[in-house]
Amino acid sequence: MNFLVDMNLSPQWCAVLRQHGHTCKHWSEVGDPRASDATLLAWAREHGFAVITHDLDFGAILAATGADAPSVIQCRTQDLLPAAMEDLLVSAIQRYETELASGALIVVDKQKSRVRILPLGG
């Protein structure tokens, strides 16, 4: 899969995800670090990337717009570095691969992962 890592997460995630066979770009590689979340989502959709973020705004934007893409993974742990949550994130990606490919919002935390199919609402 193709993943776009939001500015609020370390660029180290790209190396980790590449080791697991994924294509990955950090937003700082492709866009203005000060760009809006809507701009980042539009780029991801246009280029076929799912977004990985810590930001709750992405789910709100997906709900408000009724968008069916891109998929978003929200990491909801305190320690967001790969050393602390690589297993959690990679496991969620594997578990929800089909949903990610078709459009989903996935929330990952230490207790459980949750998935909602896009579009949200209605």
pLDDT tens readout for residues 68-106: 999 999 999 999 999 999 999 999 999 999 999 999 999
Pairing assessment for the beta strands 104-108 and 113-117 based on DSSP bridges: antiparallel
Domains of the chain with CATH codes: 2-117 (3.40.50)
Cα separation, 122 vs 115, in Å, equals 16
Q: Is the peptide bond before 82 cis (omega within 30 degrees of 0)?
A: no
pLDDT at 76: 95
Asked if residue 41 lies in contact with residue 51, where contact means CB atoms within 8 angstroms, the answer is: yes
Q: Each residue of 3-19: pLDDT tens digit?
A: 999 999 999 999 999 99
Q: Using CA of residue 72, residue 78, residue 35, residue 14, what is the dihedral sign? A: negative
pTM confidence score:
0.96
Which residue has 């810590």 as its token pair?
54
SS3 for 49?
coil
Strand-pair partners of 114: 107
